[in-house]
Chains A and B, each alone.
Chain A
C-alpha cells in the first residue's frame, strides 16, 4: 500500500499512515524502533532498501529524509509505504525550501511513541552528529566514515572528535568479524604479545580503528601498512612464540594462523549494508569499547607530549602475559 502526499505536513502524513495500516487490515506490527535515514536523492534508494531489508529482524518505522534545495518556497512531499514484504512502515519525506533547515519539525511528530530512535546518515554525516537537530532526536546515531567522498580518515576523526554516547560508525561495525577472530586466537594460545600490524588499502577508516583497538587493548604498538586491498588485508600480532595473523587477499575468505598450529581457511566476507545495520540495531545503548577505541585513536593523533595518561584498566604495560583458557 502506497500513499503519495504533496505539499503536506506531519499530521497529514500521520493520518495517511493510520489509513494505510487500516487498509492492509491493521496487522500487528510490534514495531520496536524508529529509524530516521538522512539521505539525498542519489543514495536514498539503496539506503531505504537496506532499512526495509532489516525490518524483518527489527520491525521499524523508517523515516527517509531527503533534503533538497534550500532555495524556493517551502514544501514537504511524502510517500507512505506499508506492507510490501516488509514488516514495518516506511515514509519517504522530501523537503524543499526553507523547511530543509527544520527537518526535525517534520520528523518529531512522526516518531513512534516511547520507542527508541536511531538516526542514520548513509552518506555524509554532519560535523557533530549528536548536536545536529535530527541527530539530537535519536539515542543512537550511525555514521559511515567510509562513505565520505574524500578523506575518509578525516571523516572518522571528525565523528570521533565530536563523539557522544550513542554514536557509532560503520567503520567499527565492519570490524566485528576481524575482532572476533583475533579474540578467538588469544583464547587459543598462551603468548606474550610484542607488537602488531594492520594492513589495508589507503584511507580505510576500519583499519585505523582496528589498529587503535589493538593498541588500546593490548598496550603494544601497532603499525599501519598500506596494501592494495580490498579493505583490510591483514592483521598480525608478533608474539614471543611466533606470529598470529589473519590475512585476507580477496575480500571474501582469509587464512587464520596461530603459533604451533596449521593454517586454516576462514570465511571473512565483507558484509552488506543491511547486515551492518542489523548488527548496529541490536544494541541501542552506548558502545563502550568503541568509545575507548576512538579515544585512543584521537590520542594517538596528538603530539606525544599532549597525550592523556593511560587510564587504569584500559591500558596496560607491554608485553602482556596471556595464559591459556582451561578446557572444561
Chain B
C-alpha cells in the first residue's frame, strides 16, 4: 500500500500496531464450497478476531442458493465456529455479522450481478466500505471467464478512487496454452497488480522461513551451492486418496495439481539468489530466473516417474485403488504420483539435481525440502568406523511438525570408533503452529492490504508450465502409469530413477 500521507498515529518504530486493512469488503463466489467453508470463512473470522479487519468490513456471499442474508450468516456462523483457530467470541461475531450479505444467482445471471452491484454500493453507504472490494473466485476455473466477464459488464471491475481486486485459486490453467488464455481473460478486465493468484503454500510460515533461514543467517549460504550440495529432494506426500474430488482430479493428476505450483515455488525459494530486498518485485525476478533456467533432463524416460495408487492397506485401513474410486473410469491414466528431476543451469547449481516428488496414498502426510550434502572428501577414520555414516542433510520440514532438522554423524559411545547419523532438531514448538496464522489468513489480509510479495504473477505461472509441459506430453504418449500399493512410498520406477543417479529417496 503506497501512501504519501503521514498518519501521525503511525510510526515505523511502533511495531505493536497491526496494519489494519482499509475500508473494504470481500465478495466470495462459490461460498458454499468446501474451500470457502473450511478455510476462507474461518480465516476471515480469525482476522476479525485478531482485530486486523477494518471496522465496517463486509462479507458478501454469491452462490446458486435460494438464501436470505440470514441463511448465509448461519452458514458462516457454523463454519467459523467449527473451523476457526482462534476462540469464538460473540462480540467479534456481532461485528462481522452486521456486514454480511448474500446474493443468490448463477454466473450467467445478469440480474444477480446487478443485485451484486447494488449490494456493493449499498454497503459503501451503510458500512463505509469506500468502494474497495475484493472478489474471491472460489469456483472451478471453467467459470472464471463467465464471472470475470460479468464483473466487467456490470462495472464491478473498476471504480474511481477505489480499488477492485480479484483473487483466483490454482489451477492456473492445465498447460502453458490454457494458462495464457486464462491470463488474457483476467488481465483484460483487471489490472496486473489487481490480480492475486493464491498459492496457499506461500502463505505458510515455514515457507517464508526458508527465506529467513537462508538470507538472515551467515552460516548456511556459503555452503548453499554445487561445491557442497550433492542434490536436493523436495517432497509433498499425502496419505489420503482423492476422496470426493474425482471431477477435479481425473485428467489433471499429481504433476499439474502439485508440482506445477507448490513444488516449483518451493524449488524457486530454495534455489534462488539473494533478492536485493524483500519486496514483491525483487523476489519475483529472482524466482523467475530460477524457473526460467530449470529444465528436466533430455531423457524423460530415465529421469521421471509416475504412478497410480492401487488397493492396499494404508495406515491400518483397507483402501481401494485409484481406478476403484467413485466416478473414475477404469481406463484412467491420470497419475497420482509424480517424480521428476530438474537441473538448474546456473553457476550455483550446475550439476546439482533437484528431485521433486508428490503423491497420494503414500506412507504419511509430509512436506519437506531436504538439502543433501556431499560426503567429506577424505575420512581419517577406518572404513568400518564410517560404515553407518550417511550424507549430511539439512531438512526443512514444511508440514506437519514444522521445523528444521540437521543430520550429521556422531560417535557412538563405546570404546570402538564408530560413527553414525544423528539428528539435530529445531521444532517450531509443539502448539506454536496453532497460534501462528493460517496461510489463508495471511493471504486474505495481504489481498485486502494490497501487499503482493507472496502471490505469483502470470510470468511465474507460465514459466512453471514451460517446465512441466514437455513432461506431460511425454507421459501422455507413453501408456499408463505404473501402479503402486497404497500406504507405501510410491512406484518402483521412482526408486530406479534415483538409483540411476546413484542416489536414494529419503524416507521423510
Which residues of A are in contact with B by a Cβ distance under 8 Å? 27-30, 55-59, 86-87, 173, 176-177, 179-184, 186-188, 214, 217-219, 252-253, 256, 258, 261-262, 264-269, 278-279, 283, 287-289, 316, 320, 322-328
Q: How far is the CA of A324 from the CA of B131 in the complex (A)?
A: 15
Contacts of A288 in B (CB 8 A): 11, 13-14
Assess whether B296 is interfacial by the CB under 8 Å rule.
Answer: no
A30-B429, A265-B94 as given contacts; A256 in contact with B434, CB under 8 Å:
no
Interface string of B1-32 (1 = CB under 8 A from A): 11111111111011111101011000000000
Contacts of A180 in B (CB 8 A): 17-18, 20, 51
Assess whether B428 is interfacial by the CB under 8 Å rule.
Answer: yes
Contacts of B23 in A (CB 8 A): 188
* Cβ-neighbour of B56 out of A187, A252, A261 (below 8 A): A261
Interface string of B117-146 (1 = CB under 8 A from A): 000000000111011100000000000000
The interface centre, meaning the residue of A87, A218, A267 with most chain B CB atoms within 10 A of its CB, is A267
Assess whether B228 is interfacial by the CB under 8 Å rule.
Answer: no
Q: How far is the CA of A187 from the CA of B263 in the complex (A)?
A: 39
Q: Please state if A184 and B3 are interface contacts (CB–CB under 8 Å).
A: no
- For the complex of A and B, the 9 pairs showing the least CB-CB separation, nearest first, are A56-B431, A28-B425, A253-B91, A87-B430, A261-B128, A256-B55, A183-B9, A267-B92, A288-B13
Q: Please state if A325 and B56 are interface contacts (CB–CB under 8 Å).
A: no
Task: Look across to chain A and name the residue whose beta carbon is closest to the beta carbon of B14.
Answer: A289
Q: Please state if A183 and B7 are interface contacts (CB–CB under 8 Å).
A: yes
Q: Please state if A30 and B426 are interface contacts (CB–CB under 8 Å).
A: yes
**Chain A nearest CB, measured from B475 CB (Å):** 40
Q: Please state if B10 and A183 are interface contacts (CB–CB under 8 Å).
A: yes
Q: Please state if B427 and A30 are interface contacts (CB–CB under 8 Å).
A: yes
Interface string of B33-77 (1 = CB under 8 A from A): 000000000000000110100111000000000000000000000
Task: Look across to chain B and name the residue whose beta carbon is closest to the beta carbon of A26.
Answer: B425
Interface string of B400-421 (1 = CB under 8 A from A): 0001000000000000000000
Assess whether B432 is interfacial by the CB under 8 Å rule.
Answer: yes
* Cβ-neighbour of A176 out of B16, B49, B55 (below 8 A): B16
Q: Please state if B3 and A56 are interface contacts (CB–CB under 8 Å).
A: no
Q: How far is the CA of A269 from the CA of B9 in the complex (A)?
A: 21
Q: How far is the CA of A219 from the CA of B450 in the complex (A)?
A: 31
Q: Please state if B22 and A327 are interface contacts (CB–CB under 8 Å).
A: yes
* Cβ-neighbour of B54 out of A184, A214, A316 (below 8 A): A184
Contacts of A264 in B (CB 8 A): 55-56, 95, 98, 127-128
Contacts of A258 in B (CB 8 A): 128
Interface string of B427-466 (1 = CB under 8 A from A): 1111110111000000000000010000000000000000
Assess whether B89 is interfacial by the CB under 8 Å rule.
Answer: yes
Q: Please state if A327 and B429 are interface contacts (CB–CB under 8 Å).
A: no
